[in-house]
A and B are shown apart, each in its own frame.
Chain A
Amino acid sequence: MSLKPFSRARAVHLMLVYTGGCNGCDIEIVNCVLSPKFDIEQYKVFLTWNPREADVLVVTGPVTKLNEKPLKEIYESIPNPKAVIAAGSCALMGGVYKNIHGDIPSEEIMGPVENIIPVDAKVPGCAVRPEDILSGVVATLPKLLEAD
């Protein structure tokens, strides 16, 4: 194993962008990093709030209209290689907000996240479980490791 994938697997910086869900996922994810019970740092994953430092972008929420451009801007300012995790059912398919009224198009919701930025891993759940976020990060690792 060369130094490049070795180092990438041992320090993953994770950034969270909330795009207007119900707050449940955000708290579960931030909590999963912060609380000593899950303590994501022991798996060499660090929480950061600076896109220039991040490797993995976790997006929660169905991407409301006002959040579409900020999300794109944050995604673009992350240097390569980068990966995106869509966490929670809102981020996966717009959630209850986009789908409860059937085929009527929603004016508020621009999501799901896939419509705006490319997604590498999808973590289901309403709200996501902290354990699942960890497995989501693990699922994006091959992409990070194999990139130049």
Chain B
Amino acid sequence: MTEEKLQPPLGVRIRPWLIALPALIVLIGILYPFLTAIYYSFTAYALNRPGSLDQFVGFRNYVRMFTDDDFLYSTYITFAYALLSTGVELVLGLAVALLLNRESRFAKILTPTLIFPMMIAPVIGTLIWKMMMQPSVGILNPMLNLVGLPSLQWAAVPETALFSVVLVDVWMFTPFAALILTAGLRSFPSAPFEAARVDGASFWFTFRNLTLPMLTPFILIVVVFRLMDSLKMFDIIFAMTEGGPGRTLMTYQLTAYRTSFQFQRLAQGLPYAILLYIIIYITSFYLIKFWGRAQRRAAGY
């Protein structure tokens, strides 16, 4: 009897479950499609062949991906796009952040405008760039000619296709890098930098020895976000060339889309998506580990 009385009322006993419920629902929403995708990738599932979902084919889709003639190229273009755009955005973002890191009216007005490119949907932004790049009526070629440079075929030819989409990515996401890095610079205490001035350090000496180590955690945040995003970039490439010309811009993501949906062979496209997931997972795992270390270092441990 007494033991029964010690039991908390039902409302209290189910409280932990109620609190955990939203997280569980979200987890189901994430895990269910993910596990389903892994399961589908071991079948012959094609959208136009009813019953193919029950056809279990083992690793055949994976073998097909790895032995595909275009697999190596697709790997190259996926990483080339991601590393190029992330790298350029980081360097430009850092330059912009350093320029904006001062007490001037100019910086005050300019900082909020950084958000403008990010307020435009990537597809819309890309379509506008595409119009500007249009060889006969676009504005970019006349501008190039104005400074004495020859016209470009932009995304229409393989030689400049990667450059063209990276350019759009850089235009769209450099402000993101600049904003994160500006926030980082603004969060620094002013005293060590004043001390460096009194100590007679030049801008570059202070930058190498003080600013850069203190900024590393913020740089890694930019790298994690931009690398994850650009590895799986779809919008810009698809809106610009749908992966072309030819297979020039067929990244993992574009290949997965084309195989699974345009060719309706869903199961065959899935290995690309799953490989991409594994690459992103491993990359961000290590980057986040470095981030923790960099943060301790920046804080002076």
Do A and B bind? no
Interface residues of A (CB under 8 A from B): none
